[in-house]
């Protein structure tokens, strides 16, 4: 009996193991390879600092060992300097110079350095050539302005003992209160604390110390082996755990760490804030989850270490391709933020600490504090504190520091058609013709790596791309563009002048020994250009000259991929941290800005590629890796996603997060990169993709073709409608980009950004507003869904974009029917939306088309909106060559007006531009939610500035339509013939 | 949708060419083709073509504002270009079915004086691009937006076109001639097959007779043979001989099994080692590399690993051990069988020895007859089956066998030829003449080859093996709608013959390769274009004289002329 039972169990076990083994064999193919990437406890400094935090939390009498020496405090011109002393064992004090800079913008910057390293008073191990200082150049790459110190900032005279206090910001409303011992800072606005440094005592700056090397072992003689045993004996642990201080191995690669432990870490608390957003890029929700375990929380910190993550997973704090260490905390009535300027590997723990209401003390309401813990491997502790108080102020302040989004060429916000790969120049031309044949608009076609000759960038495969110039010219005929990929790895091979020059001029990244670094990427053995080197940038520029990179034309643009950098055989698919860059900075110090230096170099190259110095055009570059500041020169996409519904769903919060984090020109691969989407998924993805600021369809080389004309009826027709909708709304998109370019506002906006007072909507991240137009979209991201619930935060009436069905009611969701052919898109009352209704082959061919204005009257009967247009390609807009209008409808007066938002004197270029646009008119005004009183009106009166006296006042036809059940009434002004760049008035009385 | 419209255009073009003269008198509004002139005659008002309830002031005609739900008031502007199922409505409908909202006009009419008139989509009007392909007179850009100027190029384009058209017509003539030759050839080949069938049928009859005769003679010989009880003389007992033979044989087998087993064990451990290497390879390779070779290897390994294989059966191995032991219990005791025994035949003779001589004769004869009877009726086993046959029988049988073989071969050949006659060889059997002929084309890094009714192949120029892109499966017809360039090397539009090639080499992460070959009329066999439409699904556009007349034949049937884009 017993034996039988046993045997049956063992056979069951055998099946189980067989099944398990089978699963192991196949599932990794569709999942991220976790073992390739570090968890916090595999990254020494993260593990050390998390352990430090655990110790602090577990010690009731925990005191941070950092104290400010009050005798060292100096304050001059808005800058406070002092020395913070770190007490280490034996009462030894380590000097850490502190700088607190108060900026005119109301932002405070806190920088903590280490004197010994600063002065180079340390010794590096293993004859390392690396720099001795903590990396202090991240700002050189990330910051472009907003650094003027506050003139009004002042040291407070009246202050408690043990504290130093500074007033700053507009009207001195901001205060930084520095506690001397233990060292900590509270940032206040209007007397209320919003941000606290070192409240939990987790400040940790790992000071330099020499490694206590074990006594040198006598030189071994041959055959003498008994000593080995002695060598491997671990020294008895004493005091701190040094196991991760000196060398670290992961996945078979060893990091030599010549400078020893050098992490910087700090806890930052946002008292009273339940929601924090930002720190992209992660495949996670907009409102960041806590990371210390528990229900629905992550157990790993958010990681920022730019990496090429193959088939990344959803809902994870795992690192991705780019990093923006900017976090904002939001609550009703206030938004604040911190910008952690550090380019090294960084981990961020988030904890939400709830305080329940105290029934004994009046006025103590229950609230949630968000506590964060920032940990970087090396570099300075350098933090900006932004005190808002609104989401708009937040994006503006951050934008002033790191720069606003570049004004893109108009084609760049239209539709991009990509695939790995269009295989020949004929293939490209054929796809181009097919789009026309099926009457589908598109602007840009892309070439992935296969166009090159054996993955040598700046070459064309002579067999497949026989005549790239002819191909480029065919595209140009319909004002279309070509984007080709250029990556930072340069093939290490013979007969390739680019690599020869790279080597000869010594412009490549070096290994720890100072020799040229060699790793593997697409071409096999490769070297990497080091764009930290100004000479490398100059050389890079020379490669893009039209006469150097033959076959490229003025309509060729560039895609920079793999710039994390991706190194197939490197640790965590990137470079060894002890590699050396220009000026001997270690790769560990600069890793997260590496990608940005590369696409910045390409940006400069595109500006100078015409040797004849002809008219400058705005470059277009797509990058995969990014850092704070990347928005100034590139667009980004969320990398290699999967053709799965979950990835479609995740794209919305990811892009919303990009938007509020200062890099709004972002998109996700429409259709999903890996795998074949079902026709339904593809269709829904296009319907969502038209709301991505960067809108590109892309596919992996192993997938079936899926250009919009492929799926057939009814899908092709539905996708075409979606694409045409994007094109129809391009004037609104372009204006939204202009707003981002001038104010830092996101292009697509989450609910909290538009309705910062609506607490119920703070975490909503699956619906979005386009620019300032009140256009509210909620893409369908669930398989088989035929309706969707849209949340309305305010009590304005909202109207279906297509049939004017009314939805109204604040703080609730409203069900919108959405069969496959329907895009859930609403118009908020109170807005005026500019459109161009004539379908064309590309956006370039719409430049002189007339406009339609959709005036959506709000509950008070008013509406307004803006329109920005320029030539869409040159930099002439910088000298005023643009049209920027404000349209406003006054319900009280029943008059629609167009007024100029640009008051400067006109330059010649500006005048020429206006002249070129003189004939471009408003052909139609649709008033949605029109007053019933207009029912009997047949005419409106139109008057235009500068028109001849006789034509000053014209009667123009008006037609009124009754919407019927549940739908708004509307009226259409028939061809008012007013110039879009002119001042005018339409009187509906 | 777009397809439909284009068809309409080509139809209209046809009508146009016949009525152009008649309609040229009255000046028409811009963009109106002659066949629509009648709707635009009224000089006071305009009535929307498909929505006659809507009447407009004549000033609203071509005023760049779309009034008619069918767009007919704007034949010369792009104002109504959004009327399409591909666009959302610009303004919602008040009543779903109130109006006919299909564009009433096929497009903007370009007169193209000096060339052929044509319609161009409204979306292309005044967009700043001179669309000379459709509108050689440049009239599509009369507004000159953005400073564009499109001069009239019709005389030049028309001249070139006529020149090319002439050449094309000429080439078409040659192509048709070639096709007729092919058909003649195909007919000849068909005739040959038919003749061969006839010859074979005659041969078959003779062969059948021969077989029947041989069957009879074999039966006779066998009957005579069956009477004999003893065949060949055996010394000593047969069992003894057998036993000694078996002993030697078994020893030999045991030795061999032992050797094979050792070899197997070595091979097994090598396979385990290899599988371990591959397993590690699969786990550690970088999937980001797009190395076809590696991918293929990994895929093949995955397939291999996924196959169910019975594990080593230790019980069977134990059995084997047992068998190989010389002195085991199961081993045969040879000594027991060796020597001392009488043969079975001797025993029979001994039985008869007890009978008187005459009786013995009689019994003997009766017994023999009885045996034959029983054997022939299947009651008794034929003793001869496990003994060597006599030469006469063998000869007779082999004669019969070879005659039967010949008969089967002939039958098979006839069936083959008959099937071949029934097989689809396309229009007028024309592909019969081309079977197994091959055409090649260089395209990118490959040379592509297509062989009529056999296979398609991709040959890498960078070296490496050839890749089979499919084997011929069947002939089909599809409708295409493509440009026909002036040199005639294009599919044009209408029904075309298609050769389907399937089940080519398997694709990593994809299907088996397949090729669709779309044929269009041309003077010579020529591959024009090769496209990988989907992963490992290829499409070749091929010109051949083989489909020439049928192309016109089918086109004429539905009344539309050859498609002219220019």
- Note whether A510 and A579 are within 8 A (CB): yes
Whichever domain contains B446, its CATH number is 2.70.130.10
Asked if residue A66 has pLDDT above 90, the reply is yes
Per the model's pLDDT, the better-predicted residue between A28 and A903 turns out to be A903
pLDDT for the residue A126: 85
Shortest CB distance from A704 goes to which of B85, B283, B535? B535
pLDDT for the residue A364: 62
- For B44, counting Cβ atoms within 10 Å of its Cβ (0-12 exposed, 13-18 middle, 19+ buried), the class is exposed
Asked if residue A262 has pLDDT above 70, the reply is yes
Residue with tokens 């500074």: A166
Per the model's pLDDT, the better-predicted residue between A559 and B549 turns out to be A559
Six-digit token string for A166: 């500074």
| ipTM of the complex model | 0.89
CA distance A837 to chain B (A): 7
CB atoms within 10 A of CB A178: 24
Structurally, how many domains does chain A consist of? Answer: 3
Shortest CB distance from B288 goes to which of A310, A845, A923? A310
Residue A524 lies in a domain: yes
With CA atoms as reference, the chain B residue closest to A706 would be B534
CA distance A944 to A921: 12
3-state secondary structure of A228: helix
Whichever domain contains A472, its CATH number is 3.20.20.80
Query: Which stretch of DSSP H or E encloses residue A79?
Result: strand A79-88
pLDDT for the residue A23: 42
pLDDT tens for each residue of B311-353 = 767 778 787 777 777 666 666 777 666 655 555 555 555 666 6
Asked if residue A823 has pLDDT above 60, the reply is yes
- For B244, counting Cβ atoms within 10 Å of its Cβ (0-12 exposed, 13-18 middle, 19+ buried), the class is middle
- Note whether B467 and B553 are within 8 A (CB): no
Structurally, how many domains does chain B consist of? Answer: 2
Shortest CB distance from B531 goes to which of A22, A430, A847? A430
Question: Residue range A107-113: average pLDDT?
Answer: 98
Using the 8-state DSSP alphabet, how is residue A670 labeled?
A: B
pLDDT for the residue A730: 98
pLDDT for the residue B228: 63
Q: Of A561, A589, A800, A873, which is the active-site residue? A: A561
* Distance, C-alpha B258 to centroid of its chain: 49
CA distance B536 to chain A (A): 9
Per the model's pLDDT, the better-predicted residue between B326 and A472 turns out to be A472
pLDDT above 70 covers a percentage of chain B that reads 81
pLDDT for the residue B535: 76
In 3D space, the residue among A370, A334, A373, A376 whose CA is nearest the CA of residue A353 turns out to be A370
Question: Residue range A735-753: average pLDDT?
Answer: 98
Per the model's pLDDT, the better-predicted residue between A444 and A222 turns out to be A444
Question: Residue range B30-44: average pLDDT?
Answer: 95
Q: Which residues of A touch B532 (CB under 8 A)?
A: 423
**Whether residue A453 is found in the same domain as residue A565:** yes
pLDDT for the residue B566: 34
Question: Residue range B425-440: average pLDDT?
Answer: 90
- Note whether A448 and A417 are within 8 A (CB): no
pLDDT tens for each residue of A855-877 = 999 999 999 999 999 999 999 99
Q: Do B94 and A962 touch (CB under 8 A)?
A: yes
Whichever domain contains A177, its CATH number is 2.60.40.1760
Shortest CB distance from B534 goes to which of A438, A705, A924? A705
Question: Residue range A894-913: average pLDDT?
Answer: 92
With CA atoms as reference, the chain A residue closest to B528 would be A426
Q: Do B88 and A803 touch (CB under 8 A)?
A: no
CA distance A174 to A166: 8
Strongest mean pLDDT among A357-366, B527-536, B545-554:
B527-536
Residue B177 lies in a domain: no
* Distance, C-alpha B178 to centroid of its chain: 26
Place B564 in a pLDDT band, splitting at 50, 70 and 90. Answer: very low
Q: Which residues of B touch A851 (CB under 8 A)?
A: none
- Note whether B532 and B458 are within 8 A (CB): no
pTM score: 0.84
3-state secondary structure of B385: helix
Q: Do B128 and A703 touch (CB under 8 A)?
A: no
CA distance A178 to A491: 53
Asked if residue B559 has pLDDT above 50, the reply is no
Q: Do B123 and A427 touch (CB under 8 A)?
A: no
Which B-chain residues 535-564 have CB contacts (< 8 A) with chain A?
Answer: 535, 537
Query: Which stretch of DSSP H or E encloses residue A27?
Result: none
pLDDT tens for each residue of A121-166 = 999 988 899 999 999 999 999 999 999 999 899 999 888 899 999 9
Going by C-beta distance under 8 Å and a sequence separation of 6 or more, which residues neighbour residue B478? B495, B496, B498, B518
Helices A2-26 and B292-306 pack at an angle, to 10 degrees, of: 160
Q: Do A477 and B129 touch (CB under 8 A)?
A: yes
Q: Do B288 and A308 touch (CB under 8 A)?
A: yes
pLDDT tens for each residue of A223-247 = 544 444 444 444 444 567 788 899 9
Six-digit token string for A347: 């981990």
Q: Do B2 and A439 touch (CB under 8 A)?
A: yes
Q: Do A568 and B508 touch (CB under 8 A)?
A: no
CA distance B88 to chain A (A): 6
Residue B95 lies in a domain: yes
Q: Do B82 and A839 touch (CB under 8 A)?
A: yes
Going by C-beta distance under 8 Å and a sequence separation of 6 or more, which residues neighbour residue B210? B403
Q: Of A640, A707, A794, A876, which is the active-site residue? A: A640
**Whether residue A80 is found in the same domain as residue A141:** yes
Alpha-carbon torsion A504, A505, A507, A511, what sign? positive
**Cis before residue A700, ω within 30 degrees of 0?**
no
Strongest mean pLDDT among A364-368, A385-389, B366-370, B384-388:
A385-389
Q: Do B302 and A26 touch (CB under 8 A)?
A: yes
3-state secondary structure of B120: strand
Six-digit token string for A670: 């429409």
**Range from A654-663, A755-764, B74-83, B272-281 carrying the lowest mean pLDDT:** B272-281
Residue B140 lies in a domain: yes
Q: Do B64 and A923 touch (CB under 8 A)?
A: yes
Asked if residue B444 has pLDDT above 90, the reply is no
Q: Do B92 and A845 touch (CB under 8 A)?
A: no
CA distance B553 to chain A (A): 27
Shortest CB distance from B445 goes to which of A427, A464, A926? A464
Q: Do A923 and B290 touch (CB under 8 A)?
A: no
With CA atoms as reference, the chain B residue closest to A822 would be B88
pLDDT for the residue A218: 58
Angstrom distances, CA of residue A548 to CA of A190, A355, A499: 59, 65, 14
DSSP secondary structure string, A845-896? GGTT--EEEEEE--TTS-EEEEEEEE-SSBSGGGGT-EEEEEEEEETTTTEE
Residue B34 lies in a domain: yes
pLDDT for the residue B398: 87
Q: Which residues of B touch A519 (CB under 8 A)?
A: none
- For B306, counting Cβ atoms within 10 Å of its Cβ (0-12 exposed, 13-18 middle, 19+ buried), the class is exposed
CB atoms within 10 A of CB A330: 28
CA geometry: angle A404, A407, A408, nearest 5 deg: 130
Six-digit token string for A164: 């130093």
Residue A466 lies in a domain: yes
Buried b (16+ CB within 10 A) or exposed e, A244-275: bbbbbebeeeebbbbbbbbbbbbbbbbbbbbb
pLDDT tens for each residue of A607-621 = 999 877 766 899 999
CA distance A883 to A982: 9
Shortest CB distance from A972 goes to which of B91, B121, B535? B91
**Whether residue A297 is found in the same domain as residue A386:** yes
**Whether residue A852 is found in the same domain as residue A969:** yes
pLDDT for the residue A704: 87
Q: Is A640 a catalytic residue?
A: yes
Question: Residue range A916-940: average pLDDT?
Answer: 96
Residue B414 backbone phi and psi in degrees, to 5: -60, -45
* Distance, C-alpha B508 to centroid of its chain: 20
- For B512, counting Cβ atoms within 10 Å of its Cβ (0-12 exposed, 13-18 middle, 19+ buried), the class is middle
Question: Residue range A705-723: average pLDDT?
Answer: 96
Domain of A427 in residue numbering reads as: 421-435+445-622
**Whether residue A341 is found in the same domain as residue A458:** no
In 3D space, the residue among A620, A689, A628 whose CA is nearest the CA of residue A663 turns out to be A628
CA distance A412 to A694: 7
pLDDT for the residue A572: 94
Q: Is A561 a catalytic residue?
A: yes
Dmax over Cα atoms in chain B, in whole Å? 140
Residue A756 lies in a domain: no
In 3D space, the residue among A135, A172, A138 whose CA is nearest the CA of residue A152 turns out to be A172
Through-space distance between the first and last CA atoms of chain B, rounded to whole angstroms: 22
CA distance A765 to A650: 9
Asked if residue B92 has pLDDT above 60, the reply is yes
pLDDT tens for each residue of A941-969 = 999 987 776 667 899 999 999 998 899 99
Question: Residue range B149-168: average pLDDT?
Answer: 92
Angstrom distances, CA of residue A514 to CA of A128, A585, B80, B204: 9, 11, 67, 88
Question: Residue range A754-758: average pLDDT?
Answer: 98
CA distance A367 to A386: 22
Question: Residue range A469-484: average pLDDT?
Answer: 98
Residue B245 lies in a domain: no
Q: How many CB pairs under 8 A join A and B?
A: 132
Per the model's pLDDT, the better-predicted residue between A364 and B434 turns out to be B434
Residue B215 lies in a domain: no
Domain boundary residue, one of B112, B134, B152? B152
**Range from A157-161, A558-562, A724-728, A848-852 carrying the lowest mean pLDDT:** A157-161
pLDDT for the residue A861: 97
Place B2 in a pLDDT band, splitting at 50, 70 and 90. Answer: very low
Six-digit token string for B66: 């779309």
Going by C-beta distance under 8 Å and a sequence separation of 6 or more, which residues neighbour residue A151? A78, A104
CA distance B529 to chain A (A): 9
Residue A982 backbone phi and psi in degrees, to 5: -110, 165
Q: Which residues of A touch B65 (CB under 8 A)?
A: 923-924, 974-975
CA distance A862 to A885: 17
Dmax over Cα atoms in chain A, in whole Å? 112
* Distance, C-alpha A463 to centroid of its chain: 38
Residue A635 lies in a domain: no
**Range from A440-444, A548-552, A573-577, B231-235 carrying the lowest mean pLDDT:** B231-235
Which B-chain residues 186-225 have CB contacts (< 8 A) with chain A?
Answer: none
* Torsion of the alpha carbons at A408, A659, A771 and A846, rounded to the nearest 10: 30
CA distance B121 to chain A (A): 9
Q: Do A424 and B443 touch (CB under 8 A)?
A: yes
CA geometry: angle A106, A108, A113, nearest 5 deg: 165
**Whether residue A889 is found in the same domain as residue A926:** yes
**Whether residue A334 is found in the same domain as residue A472:** no
Domain of B16 in residue numbering reads as: 3-152
- Note whether B502 and B455 are within 8 A (CB): no
**Whether residue A351 is found in the same domain as residue A494:** no
CA distance A33 to chain B (A): 10
CA distance A150 to A166: 11
Q: Which residues of B touch A29 (CB under 8 A)?
A: 287
Residue B284 backbone phi and psi in degrees, to 5: -100, -15
Q: Do B65 and A430 touch (CB under 8 A)?
A: no
Strands (E) across A343-453 are located at: 346-355, 367-376, 381-386, 415-417, 444-447
**Whether residue A344 is found in the same domain as residue A451:** no
B126 touches chain A (CB under 8 A): yes
Per the model's pLDDT, the better-predicted residue between B127 and B100 turns out to be B127
Shortest CB distance from B146 goes to which of A440, A837, A847? A847
B461 touches chain A (CB under 8 A): yes
With CA atoms as reference, the chain A residue closest to B90 would be A837
Q: Is A494 a catalytic residue?
A: no
Calculate Rg over the CA atoms of chain A: 30
Residue B229 lies in a domain: no
Q: What is the mean pLDDT of chain A?
A: 92
pLDDT for the residue B393: 82
Residue B261 lies in a domain: no
Per DSSP, helices labelled H in A544-616 are 587-607
CA distance A417 to A710: 13
Asked if residue B141 has pLDDT above 50, the reply is yes
pLDDT above 90 covers a percentage of chain B that reads 37
CA geometry: angle A754, A760, A766, nearest 5 deg: 65
Residue A689 lies in a domain: no
Q: Of A199, A443, A564, A669, which is the active-site residue? A: A564
Calculate Rg over the CA atoms of chain B: 42
3-state secondary structure of A386: strand
Strands (E) across A180-273 are located at: 184-189, 192-197, 204-205, 248-250, 253-255, 264-270
3-state secondary structure of A699: coil
Whichever domain contains A819, its CATH number is 2.60.40.1180
Shortest CB distance from A841 goes to which of B123, B289, B290? B123
Strongest mean pLDDT among A759-773, B285-299, B393-407:
A759-773
pLDDT for the residue A856: 98
């Amino acid at each position: 009996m017993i034996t039988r039972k046993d045997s049956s169990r063992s056979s069951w076990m055998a099946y189980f193991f067989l099944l398990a083994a089978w699963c192991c064999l196949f599932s990794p193919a569709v999942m991220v390879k976790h073992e390739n990437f570090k968890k916090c406890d595999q990254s020494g400094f993260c593990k050390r600092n998390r352990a430090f935090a655990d110790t602090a939390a577990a010690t009731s009498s925990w005191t941070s060992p950092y104290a400010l020496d009050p005798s060292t405090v100096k304050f001059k011109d808005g800058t406070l300097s002092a020395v913070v002393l770190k007490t280490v064992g034996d009462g030894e004090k380590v000097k850490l110079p502190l700088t607190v800079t108060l900026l005119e913008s109301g932002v405070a910057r806190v920088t903590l350095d280490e004197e010994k390293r600063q002065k180079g008073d340390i010794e590096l191990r293993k004859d390392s050539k690396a720099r001795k200082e903590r990396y202090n150049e991240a700002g050189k790459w990330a910051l472009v302005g907003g650094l003027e110190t506050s003139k009004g900032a002042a040291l407070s005279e009246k202050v408690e003992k043990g504290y130093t206090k500074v007033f700053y910001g507009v009207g001195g409303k901001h205060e930084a209160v520095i506690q001397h011992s233990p060292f900590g800072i509270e940032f206040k606005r209007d007397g209320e604390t919003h941000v606290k440094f070192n409240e939990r005592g987790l400040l940790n700056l790992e000071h330099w110390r020499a490694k206590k090397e074990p006594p040198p072992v006598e030189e071994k003689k041959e055959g003498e082996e008994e000593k080995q045993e002695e060598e491997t004996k671990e020294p008895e642990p004493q005091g701190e755990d040094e196991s991760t201080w000196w060398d670290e191995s992961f996945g078979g690669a060893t990091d030599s760490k010549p400078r020893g432990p050098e992490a910087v870490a700090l806890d930052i608390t946002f008292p009273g804030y339940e929601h924090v957003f930002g720190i992209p890029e992660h495949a996670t929700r907009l409102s960041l989850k806590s990371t210390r375990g528990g229900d629905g929380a992550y157990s790993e910190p958010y990681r920022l270490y730019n990496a090429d993550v193959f088939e990344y997973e959803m809902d994870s704090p795992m690192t991705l391709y780019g990093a923006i260490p900017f976090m904002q905390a939001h609550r009703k009535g206030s938004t604040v933020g911190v910008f952690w300027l550090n380019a090294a590997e960084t981990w961020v723990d988030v904890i939400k600490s709830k305080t329940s209401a105290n029934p004994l003390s009046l006025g103590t309401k229950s609230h949630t504090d968000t506590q964060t813990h920032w940990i970087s491997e090396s570099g300075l502790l350098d933090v900006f504190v932004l005190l808002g108080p609104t989401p708009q102020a937040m994006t503006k302040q951050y934008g002033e520091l790191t720069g606003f989004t570049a004004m893109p060429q108009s084609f760049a916000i239209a539709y991009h058609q990509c695939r790995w790969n269009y295989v020949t120049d004929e293939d490209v031309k054929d796809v181009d013709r097919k789009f026309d044949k099926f009457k589908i608009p598109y602007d840009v076609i892309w070439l992935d790596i296969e166009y090159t000759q054996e993955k040598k960038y700046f070459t064309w495969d002579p067999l497949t791309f026989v005549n790239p110039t002819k191909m480029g010219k065919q595209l140009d005929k319909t004002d279309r563009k070509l984007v080709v990929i250029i990556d930072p790895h340069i093939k290490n091979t013979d007969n390739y002048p680019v690599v020869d020059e790279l080597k000869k001029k010594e412009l490549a990244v070096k290994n720890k020994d100072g020799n040229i670094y060699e790793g593997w990427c697409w071409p096999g053995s490769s070297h990497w250009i080091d764009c930290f080197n100004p000479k490398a940038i100059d050389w890079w520029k020379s490669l893009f000259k039209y006469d150097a990179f033959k076959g490229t034309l003025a309509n060729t643009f560039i895609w920079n991929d793999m710039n994390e950098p991706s190194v197939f055989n490197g640790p965590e698919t990137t470079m060894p941290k002890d590699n050396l860059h220009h000026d001997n900075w270690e790769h560990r110090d600069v890793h997260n800005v590496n990608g940005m230096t590369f696409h910045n170099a390409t940006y400069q190259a595109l500006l100078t590629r015409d040797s004849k110095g002809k008219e400058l055009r705005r470059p277009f570059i797509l990058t995969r890796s990014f850092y704070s500041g990347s928005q100034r020169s590139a667009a980004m996409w969320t990398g290699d996603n999967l053709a799965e519904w979950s990835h479609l769903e995740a794209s919305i919060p990811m892009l919303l997060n990009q938007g509020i984090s200062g890099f709004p020109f972002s998109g996700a691969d429409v259709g999903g990169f890996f795998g074949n989407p079902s026709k339904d998924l593809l269709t829904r993805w296009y319907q969502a993709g038209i709301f991505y600021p960067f809108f590109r369809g892309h596919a992996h080389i192993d997938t079936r073709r899926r250009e919009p004309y492929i799926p057939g009826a009814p899908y092709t027709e539905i996708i075409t409608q979606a694409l045409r909708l994007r094109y129809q709304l391009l004037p609104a998109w372009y204006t939204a980009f202009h707003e981002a370019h001038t104010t830092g506002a996101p292009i697509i906006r989450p609910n909290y950004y538009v309705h910062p007072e609506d607490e119920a909507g703070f975490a909503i991240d699956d619906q979005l507003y386009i620019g300032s137009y009140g256009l509210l979209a909620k893409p369908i991201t669930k398989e088989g869904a035929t309706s969707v619930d849209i949340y309305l935060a305010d009590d304005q009436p909202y109207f279906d974009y297509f049939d004017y069905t009314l939805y109204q009611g604040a703080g609730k969701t409203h069900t919108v029917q959405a069969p496959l052919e329907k895009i859930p898109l609403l118009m908020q009352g109170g807005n005026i939306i500019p459109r161009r209704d004539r379908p064309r082959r590309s956006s370039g061919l719409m430049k002189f088309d007339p406009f339609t204005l959709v005036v959506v009257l709000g509950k008070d009967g008013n509406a307004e909106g803006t329109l920005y247009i320029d030539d869409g390609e040159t930099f002439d807009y910088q000298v005023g060559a643009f049209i920027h209008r404000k349209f406003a409808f006054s319900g009280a007066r029943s008059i629609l007006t167009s007024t100029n938002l640009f008051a400067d004197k006109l330059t010649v270029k500006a005048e020429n531009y206006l002249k070129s646009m003189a004939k471009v008119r408003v052909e139609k005004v649709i008033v949605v939610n029109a007053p019933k009183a207009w029912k009997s009106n047949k005419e409106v009166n139109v008057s235009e500035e500068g028109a001849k006296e006789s034509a000053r006042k014209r009667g123009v036809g008006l037609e009124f339509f009754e919407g019927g059940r549940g739908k708004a009434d509307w009226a259409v002004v028939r061809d008012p013939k007013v110039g879009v760049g002119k001042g005018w008035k339409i009187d509906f009385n | 949708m777009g397809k439909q419209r284009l068809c309409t255009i080509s139809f209209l073009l046809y009508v146009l060419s016949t009525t152009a003269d008649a309609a040229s008198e009255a000046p028409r509004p811009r963009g109106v083709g002659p066949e629509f002139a009648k709707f635009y005659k009224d000089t006071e008002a305009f009535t929307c073509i498909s929505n006659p309830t809507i009447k407009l002031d004549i000033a609203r005609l071509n005023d760049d504002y779309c009034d008619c739900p069918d767009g007919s008031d704007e034949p010369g502007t792009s104002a109504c270009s959004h009327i399409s199922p591909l666009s959302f409505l610009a303004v919602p409908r008040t009543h779903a079915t109130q109006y006919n909202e299909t564009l009433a006009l096929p497009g903007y009419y370009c007169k193209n004086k000096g060339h052929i008139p044509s319609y161009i989509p409204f979306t292309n009007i005044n967009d700043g691009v001179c669309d000379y392909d459709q509108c050689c007179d440049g009239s599509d850009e009369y507004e000159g937006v953005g400073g564009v100027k499109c001069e009239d190029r019709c005389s030049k384009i028309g001249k070139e076109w006529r020149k090319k058209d002439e050449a094309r017509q000429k080439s078409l003539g040659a192509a048709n001639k070639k096709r007729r030759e092919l058909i003649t050839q195909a007919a000849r080949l068909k005739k040959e097959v038919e003749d061969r069938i006839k010859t074979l049928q005659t041969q078959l009859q003779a062969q059948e007779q021969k077989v029947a005769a041989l069957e009879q003679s074999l039966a006779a010989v066998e009957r005579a043979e069956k009477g004999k009880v003893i065949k060949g003389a055996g010394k000593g007992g047969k069992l003894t001989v057998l036993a000694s033979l078996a002993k030697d044989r078994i020893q030999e087998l045991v030795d061999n099994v032992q050797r094979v087993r050792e070899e197997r064990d070595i091979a097994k451990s090598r396979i385990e080692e290899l599988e371990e290497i591959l397993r590690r390879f699969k786990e550690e390779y970088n999937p980001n590399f797009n190395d076809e070779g590696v991918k293929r290897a990994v895929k093949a390994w995955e397939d291999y690993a996924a196959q169910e294989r019975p594990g080593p059966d230790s019980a069977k191995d134990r059995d084997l051990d047992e068998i190989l032991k010389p002195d085991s219990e199961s081993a045969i005791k040879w000594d027991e069988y060796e020597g001392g025994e009488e043969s079975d035949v001797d025993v029979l003779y001994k039985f008869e020895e007890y009978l008187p001589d005459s009786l013995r004769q009689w019994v003997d004869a009766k017994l023999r007859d009885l045996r034959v009877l029983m054997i022939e009726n299947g009651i008794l086993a034929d003793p001869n089956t496990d003994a060597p046959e006599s030469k006469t029988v063998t000869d007779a049988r082999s004669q019969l066998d070879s005659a039967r073989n010949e008969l089967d071969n002939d039958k098979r050949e006839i069936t083959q030829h008959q099937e071949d006659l029934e097989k689809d060889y396309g229009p007028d059997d024309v592909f019969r003449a081309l079977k197994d002929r091959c055409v090649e084309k260089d395209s990118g890094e490959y040379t592509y080859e297509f062989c009529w009714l056999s296979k398609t192949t991709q040959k890498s120029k960078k070296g490496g093996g050839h890749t089979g892109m499919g084997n011929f499966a069947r002939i089909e017809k599809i409708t295409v709608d493509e440009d026909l360039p002036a040199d005639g090397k294009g599919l044009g539009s209408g029904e075309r013959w298609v050769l389907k090639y399937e089940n080519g080499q398997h694709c990593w992460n994809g299907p088996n390769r397949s090729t669709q070959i779309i044929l269009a009329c041309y003077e010579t066999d020529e591959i024009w274009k090769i496209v990988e439409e989907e992963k490992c699904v290829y499409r070749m556009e091929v010109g051949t004289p083989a489909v020439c007349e049928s192309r016109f034949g089918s086109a004429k049937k539905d009344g539309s002329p050859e498609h002219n884009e220019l």
